[in-house]
Structure 1
Amino acid sequence: MTGDGVSATGTVGGGASGADSTAGAGGAHVTLQDVARRAEVSLATASRVLNGTTQVRADLRERVLAAASELAYAPNAHAQALARASSHSIGLICHDVSDPYFAAIARGVTRTAADHGLLVMLASTFRDPAREVDYVAMLRAQRARAILLIGSGFEDREWEHAMSAELDPYIRTGGRVAVLSRHRSLRVDTVQPENREGATALARALLDLGHRDFAVLTGPRALTTVSDRLGGFRDALTDAGIDLPDDQIIEESFTRDGGYAAATELIRRGSRATCVFALTDVMAIGALSAFRDHGVDVPGQVSLAGFDDIPIVRDLVPPLTTVALPLEELGERVMNLALREPARRSRVERITGKVVLRASTTAPRRRHAG
């Protein structure tokens, strides 16, 4: 499948029909979300009805089944296929494989998979919760040996229920699941970067440089990574008796362009921040470009810090202060968890980040960013 967020070391959902994604009348692509919309029920309810994992109210069940019939949507016999354990493929679902953060992690996954003679199929969701659920359904249909969810979970009850309804029967029939980052409701093996703790440590380091006026460039609040990093940074400021005003928190997309737009808005507001924290390095790169384009010197007028330590930030002018995570190692670890035999309790491997101070942050020299 091309042009829909799916790329390949392998290709997800290339066949005609899937466990929860089929070609309907006239060859149109029908997704679980289409069925839920036609039945006027939540994505979670549609998933529960079609997977038969829990009891659903009779009238809702009938509406879902009627919608599935009208759309020519039918689940595949994925459980029998999984039981035969014939697949040598691993499904890796991330937010955006073109993002250097995910690309580095995917490198660790694919290298470890190759060592075990396994093929990795990559899919990018572009942070669409419904698309993530649909891709899990496709991977079940492809009889993937394991499914890896790489990236932030969503603070979204409907997504949590829908994802659990997909993963629970997959796991019961022999599939393996491992995730990277915090996914509150999923009872699966997890590699968890200590995002909150890393942001707290970064804030303390910036306070030690003498900064007292801060602004934050953040992604969507529904992402657990955002709530953890923003929460940890804010906690450290609060402990130091420093307020982070709401108008100094700018929300944009977790992209380079999002960082550029957020920094531009900060300048427009006449921010007095002497230090700006972008919740990802990719956003920080965009912010650095915005500051340069608007004649704001980094770090002469405003210091700038990111999070993740993607390789390029060491080569920027100035090189970027960040919280370093071992990105390829994260990929290796989550892949190794998926290859291990399941345990009675979900395993959690916590990875600590390290604050790396570089030339983009110095002691404050002026009282405002622009």
Structure 2
Amino acid sequence: MNARPHVTLEEVARSARVSLATASRVLNGTTNVRSDLRDRVVSAASELAYTPNAHAQALAGGSQPTVGVICHDVSDPYFAAIARGVMRVAGDNGLLVMLASTFRDPHKEIEYVSMLRAQRASAILLIGSGFEDRHWEQAMAAELDPYRRGGGQVAVVSRHRSLKVDTVQPENREGAAALAKALLKLGHRRFAVLAGPRSMTTVNDRLSGFSDELAAKGVELTEDDIVEAAFTRDGGYAAVQEMLTRKTKPTCVFAVTDVMAIGALTALREAGISVPGEMSLAGFDDVPVVRDLTPPLTTVALPLEELGERAMELAIKGARGGRSRILRLSGEVVLRGSTAPPKK
């Protein structure tokens, strides 16, 4: 049989009708795979003349210690900044970084963790929000617990409720509450919130911190004031379009992430609504690009690169006594040109 060029592991998995993670386990010699699944993978690999990637095998063999970094979307400047911090510390310690994007698919996140276990990565970092999903929590713990018992190091950025691992947590609730306080001080009383999926812990923390502070000052945020959309630029754009069809007429819009605020600003401009003349707009994270918008965006500035640096340092040092550690990093409200007192 003539070998097909560039046969990938994904093709083997598809031919064997198994997940990418299962195919990776079989072909990297992991034993805890059902015999029928193993036979299908081996048969598919033979039929396709699959040749394992020599570079990946070298990494798995330990020729250079590697760190697997799994984020939601590396094209998002929030994750890019955190990854930069991870890579700086990893490079200083002679570690090679393998980076993967899940595009906020919780099942893909679990598959990547499984693949990194098979590759024998010395550490795994999860960069991004956890999910309010019991099945995901159990499946992720089932992958990470044996990995840690085998000597692997794990650290996460953001809140992951049930994972007993080292964590670097941005103070999302506190930052959103501080932003609400600053916007109330400007004189705003009618708000709309552009929220990502509430299955994500980051969305819940920022939304609850913001709404609780408003409530403490006697300002109610109703469900009609909250628009749920994708946690992306396009999600922010679509959320504003949806908001403008509702009865609510806010003087200030809070997007729970800067990338949503970027899309929101474009949608407001296209609708002929001036910012901040007719409606103020605020975000969260302080990714570098928002300083160059017109107008520049009011936001909560997080030390993004430091989040990555601290997570990598936790993974390198390892926890003593098996107890997980939590580091909390605070944000700071930065008022810029996208917010102003509402017109009387």
Same fold (TM over 0.5): yes
Conservation of the 8 A alpha-carbon contact between 2:224 and 2:248: no
2: distance between equivalents of 1:235 and 1:255?
A: 24
Partner of 2:240: 263
Q: Is 1:346 aligned with 2:324?
A: yes
Contact kept, 8 Å, 2:116 with 2:124, in 1: the verdict is: yes
Q: Distance in 2 between matches of 1:279 and 1:26?
A: 41
- Distance (whole Å) between structure 2 residues aligned to residue 131 and residue 341 of structure 1: 26
Using the TM superposition, give the Cα deviation of residue 317 of structure 1 relative to its aligned residue in structure 2, in angstroms.
0.7
**What is the rounded CA distance, in whole Å, between the counterparts of 2:189 and 2:62 in structure 1?**
57
Deviation at 1:287, TM superposition (A): 0.3
- Superposed CA RMSD: 2.7
Please say if 1:68 is aligned against 2:37: yes
Instruction: Please tell me whether the aligned partners of residues 30 and 71 of structure 1 are also in contact (alpha carbons under 8 angstroms).
Output: no
Deviation digits for residues 252-304 of structure 1, max 9, x if unmatched?
10111100000111112243100000000000000000000010000011000
- SS at structure 2 position matched to 1:187: coil
Q: Contact (CA 8 Å) 1:194, 1:353: kept in 2 or not?
A: yes
Change (3 A) 1:25 1:148: closer
Deviation at 1:69, TM superposition (A): 5.2
The 5-angstrom pairing of residues 314-353 of structure 1 reads 314-344=291-321, 345-353=323-331
Task: Among all aligned residue pairs of Structure 1 and Structure 2, give the percentage whose two residues are the same amino acid.
Answer: 63
Give the Cα–Cα distance (whole angstroms) in 2 for the partners of residues 207 and 70 of structure 1: 64
In structure 2, the partner of 1:147 is 124
CA distance in 2, matches of 1:24, 1:341: 34
Distance, in Å, in 2 between the alignment partners of 1:232 and 1:51 is 46
- Residue identity matched to 2:194: L
Q: Which of 68, 76, 98 is residue 91 of structure 1 equivalent to?
A: 68
Give the alignment partner of residue 197 of structure 1, picking from 159, 164, 174. 174
CA-to-aligned-CA distance 1:294-348 (integer Å, 9 cap, x gap): 1000001100000000001111111100000011111111111110032221111
The TM-score normalised by the length of structure 1 is 0.80
Post-superposition offset of 1:169: 0.6
1:30 corresponding residue in structure 2:
19
1:280 aligns with 2:257: yes
Matching residue of 1:181: 158
Letter in 1 for 2:332: K
Contact 1:97 1:103 in 2 (8 A): yes
1:174, CA displacement in angstroms? 0.8
- Name the amino acid aligned to 2:41: A
Aligned-pair distance for 1:168?
A: 0.5
Displacement of 1:31 = 3.6
Q: How many residues align?
A: 318
Partner of residue 254, structure 1: 231
Whether contact under 8 Å (2:21, 2:112) holds in the other structure is no
Q: Deviations over 1:199-249 (max 9, x none)?
A: 011001111111110000010110000110001001001111111111110
Shift of 1:30: 2.9
Partner amino acid, structure 1, of 2:120: R
Instruction: Give the direction of change, closer, same or farther, for the CA distance of 1:146–1:276 in structure 2 (3 Å limit).
Output: same
Give the equivalent residue in structure 2 for 1:313.
Answer: 290
Question: Does residue 1:221 correspond to 2:190, yes or no?
Answer: no
Is 1:131–2:112 an aligned residue pair? no
The answer (yes or no) to whether the contact 2:64–2:96 under 8 Å persists in 1 is: no
Change (3 A) 1:138 1:69: closer
Give the corresponding residue for 1:299: 276
Matched-pair contact (CA < 8 Å) for 1:171–1:177? yes
Aligned mates of 1:305, 1:33 — CA distance in 2: 44
Could you list the runs of 5+ residues in structure 1 that have no partner in the other structure? 1-13, 35-49, 53-63, 75-80
Specify which of 63, 80, 97 is matched with residue 103 of structure 1. 80
Partners of 2:302 and 2:330 within 8 A in 1: yes
Does the Cα contact within 8 Å between 1:191 and 1:350 map onto a contact in 2?
Answer: yes
- Note the C-alpha offset of 1:72: 3.5
| 8 Å contact kept, 1:320–1:360 | yes
